[in-house]
Amino acid sequence: MNKTNYLKFSLIFLLGLFIYSCYNEFYDLPATNLERENLIPKPLSILATNSSFILDKNSSITIPNEEIFLSVGKFLSKKIKDKTQLDIEVNLGKSKNKGGEIIINKVKKNATIYNESYELIISKNSIIVNTQTGEGAFRAIQTIRQLIPYKSSSSKNNLRAIPTGTIIDKPNFEYRGSMLDVARHFFDVEDVKKYIDVMAYYKMNVLHLHLTDDQGWRIEIKSWPELTEIGGFTEVGGGKGGFYTQEQYKEIVAYATQNYIKIIPEIDMPGHTHAASTSYPFLDGKEDAILKPGASSTEKKAALYTGMKVGFSTFKTREEKVYEFIDDVVRELSALTSGEYFHIGGDESKVTKQDDYVYFLKRVEKIVSKYNKTMIGWDEISKADLSTNTVVQFWYNEENAIKSSKKKLKIILSPAKRIYLDIKYDSLSKYGNRWIGYTPIDSSYNWTPEKYIDGISKDQILGIEAPLWSETVSNIQELEYLAFPRLIGVAELGWSIEENRNWENYKVRLANQTPYLNKMKINYYPSKLIDWK
Ligand code: TNX
């Protein structure tokens, strides 16, 4: 290089450096405050440094050279594109270093931190994610997504200013779930995927599918085809019902897995089983009662139930063939499910004799563990002496939950009073049940799972789950009306520690979720308690 070229080169270099260092000033970006961002759930700790990282067309994502991080990197790039139109490339291992970088850094395993924990260090030039797992990286990028403004931060170029600072974060509970009742009304694969999208955005990690009930059987079981051919035929109100083929169910499991969400299938037994027993009358002896032996499929379909009552059906618990049937169902469904849990229902079995109920649960618990799954049941299952691996889902009866926790079984909290998403908000609610009164969004948020039941301490609580029973909702818009915004509050109760939760503060962050909810076309309930933006 001769002298003039050298001078030219140095000048250009210095000019570039100058422009880059004046970037914020150049675009006239205001000072920022990471601590005041509308993040939900609220992270464990936030420290603001009041400047900006610029995300623009020169930015890139750099990830460790592992398949698991590649999918997380691509996920983030796609979400950035959807939100900002910016094409952000994903580089393995080494960065190309053109502009501000998002770097996912794999740190060494440390037994004292959760799989889902992460650290986010945002400076002017980079966003560094420190985590030890794909799961941690996935939770971290939800925070990044939430920090990216919807509109360009400059009128000159398409760029987004992200507040600088450090976030250290990990979940309060390891189990943060919701349940969809696809039995009372059926919801198709696309509906479930959309629900998963929103759950993932708010860092939830479990979706429980209530696949069977009196009104319908919604999962194909190859060894018992009439379960869906007959049992899937209708729903509450007499609509057309439906079911997932095994391929469709696998598609849901795969989609959930990409979003670091576990699917928990529920086959509700021995009560809530009218649809199954109408398909195969030996299950409850309907052959003698309602259906004649050898009844045609038309006769069986006519005997299906489309009302909303509960507690009238039961399997014949002393009939050996019933357990052969259950074995097939648990085997097939377990093979399709990657998560470790299998939910067997067990609620409101009002016409099953106590002895029979207890006998039944012990038999079913063995079947579930034979297929390497951990059993979950509604709180009534505490009537039986079950293994300490089994998990009890509290929904109504505190004594049941206390009894089980004394026997060292873990508890999932789903108090109907607080987080049953199917309960009406108030007297103006268009849809919803109201057997337990109303649940406006403040009372759904304003409670303390850690101290909810006297006698159950935090370490005995696996987590929380918000069920959405679907008697009164028959399409995704109606379902969303009940789920949102309450589900978002549940996500915060599950993730954020007690000291970081506060209704007045949450209320403001929730009000600022409207750009996201609108972009997702979510039909949320516009409660007057919130000053929606
Ligand atoms: C109780 S919760 C039920 C469901 C109903 C729900 C309606 C539970 C284990 N059983 O069968 O759909 O109330 O809120």
Q: Specify the ligand 1 atom closest to the Cα of 310.
A: 11
308: pLDDT strictly greater than 70: yes
Q: How many CB atoms lie within 10 A of CB 446?
A: 15
pLDDT for the residue numbered 476? 98
Is the C-beta atom of 469 inside 6 A of ligand 1?
A: yes
Which range among 22-31, 502-511, 513-522 shows the weakest confidence by mean pLDDT?
22-31
Mean pLDDT of 246-269: 98
Q: What is the pLDDT of residue 93?
A: 83
The mean pLDDT of 290-301, rounded to a whole number, is: 89
pLDDT band at 23 (very low <50, low <70, confident <90, very high): low
Would you state the pLDDT for residue 509?
A: 98
Q: Which of 420, 469, 470, 479 to mutate to test the pocket of ligand 1 (most atoms within 8 A of CB)?
A: 469
CA distance 310 to 493: 30
The angle subtended at Cα 279 by Cα 275 and Cα 280, nearest 5°, is 115
CB atoms within 10 A of CB 527: 17
pLDDT tier at 98, thresholds 50, 70, 90:
low
CA 461 to chain centre: 18
**What are the strands of the beta sheet with 60-63, ordered from one edge?**
45-55, 160-169, 118-122, 126-131, 101-106, 60-63, 89-92
Q: What are the residues whose beta carbons fall under 8 Å from the beta carbon of 453, sequence distance 6 or more?
A: 394, 398, 401, 402, 413
Place of tokens 């009939």: 319
pLDDT of residue 15: 58
Q: Measured between alpha carbons, how far is 356 from 346 in angstroms, rounded to an integer?
A: 12
Give the Cα separation of 148 and 144 in Å (integer). Answer: 7
Q: How many CB atoms lie within 10 A of CB 316?
A: 18
The answer to whether the CB of 509 falls within 8 A of the CB of 39 is yes
Q: How far apart are CA 314 and CA 505, in angstroms?
A: 47
How far apart CA 172 and CA 244 sit, in angstroms, is: 33
pLDDT of residue 156: 87
H or E element, residue 325: helix 320-336
In this prediction, residue 292 has a pLDDT band, given cuts at 50, 70 and 90, of confident
- CA–CA separation, 136 and 129 (whole Å): 9
The mean pLDDT value for 244-259 works out to 98
Q: What is the pLDDT of residue 294?
A: 86
- In the chain the first and final C-alpha atoms are separated, in Å, by 58
Cis peptide leading into 281, omega within 30 of 0?
no
Percent of the chain surpassing pLDDT 90: 88
pLDDT at 77 over 60: yes
What does the pLDDT look like over 107-135, one tens digit per residue? Answer: 987 655 568 999 999 999 999 999 999 99
275 has pLDDT over 90: yes
**pLDDT level of residue 272 (50, 70, 90 thresholds):** very high
Name which of 328, 294, 327 is nearest 222 in CA terms.
Answer: 328
Strand partners, 119: 130, 168
Q: Whose C-alpha lies nearest to ligand 1, atom 13?
A: 469
Distance 5 CA to ligand 1 centre (A): 78
CA distance 439 to 408: 31
Residues for the chain: how many in total?
533
For residue 2, the model assigns a pLDDT of 63
Please tell me the predicted confidence (pLDDT) of residue 528: 94
Give the global pTM. 0.94
Burial 194-207 (b: 16+ CB within 10 A, else e): bbbebbbbbbbbbb
Is the CB of 422 inside a 6 Å radius of any atom of ligand 1? Answer: yes
pLDDT at 293: 82
Atom of ligand 1 nearest to the CA of 184: 12
- Residue whose CB lies within 8 A of the most ligand 1 atoms, among 310, 344, 431, for a mutation test: 310
Q: How many angstroms does the Cα of residue 494 sit away from the middle of ligand 1? A: 22
User: Which residue lies with its CA nearest to atom 12 of ligand 1?
Assistant: 469
pLDDT of residue 353: 96
Cβ contact 140:85 at 8 Å: no
DSSP state for residue 214 in the 8-state scheme? T
pLDDT of residue 143: 98
With 70 as the cut, is the pLDDT of residue 12 above it?
Answer: no
**Ligand 1, atom 8, residue with closest C-alpha:** 347
Q: What ligand 1 atom has the least distance to the C-alpha of 435? A: 14
Predicted local distance difference test score (pLDDT) of residue 30: 80
Q: Which residue has the higher pLDDT, 178 or 66?
A: 178
Three-class DSSP category at 480: helix
Helix/strand/coil (H, E, C) string of 119-184?
EEEECCCEEEEEECCHHHHHHHHHHHHHHCCCCCCCCCCCCEEEEEEEEEECCCCCEEEEEEECCC
Give which of 199, 331, 327 is closest to 252, Cα–Cα: 199
The mean pLDDT value for 67-94 works out to: 95
Residue 82: Cβ-neighbour burial (10 angstroms; 0-12, 13-18, 19+): exposed
Quick check: helix, strand or coil at residue 407?
A: coil
Burial class (CB in 10 A: 0-12, 13-18, 19+), 312: middle
395 lines ligand 1 (CB under 6 A): yes
* Arithmetic mean of pLDDT, 445-453: 97
Q: For residue 54, what is the DSSP state?
A: E
Cα dist. 211→82, 175, 217, 406, 411 in Å?
A: 32, 20, 6, 30, 21
Looking at the predicted structure, is the pLDDT value of residue 454 above 70? yes
Average pLDDT over residues 198-222: 98
Could you tell me if 411 and 462 are in contact, meaning their C-beta atoms sit under 8 angstroms apart? Answer: yes
Q: Whose CA is nearest to atom 4 of ligand 1?
A: 469
Digit-coded pLDDT (tens) for 352-363: 999 999 999 999
Judge whether 213 and 275 are in contact, CB under 8 Å.
yes
303-325 mean pLDDT: 96
Whole-number pLDDT of residue 286: 72
Q: What does the pLDDT average to over 335-354? A: 97
196 Cα: distance to centroid of ligand 1 (angstroms): 22
pLDDT at residue 21 in the model: 52
Residue 453 has pLDDT above 70, yes or no: yes
How far, in Å, CA of 395 to CA of 447, rounded? Answer: 15
**Spatial separation of the C-alpha atoms in residues 211 and 193, rounded to whole Å:** 16
Is the minimum distance from the CB of 287 to ligand 1 under 6 angstroms? no
pLDDT tens digits along 136-187: 999 999 999 999 999 999 988 999 999 999 999 999 999 999 999 999 999 9
- Closest residue by Cα to atom 6, ligand 1, is 469
> Mean pLDDT over all residues of the chain?
93
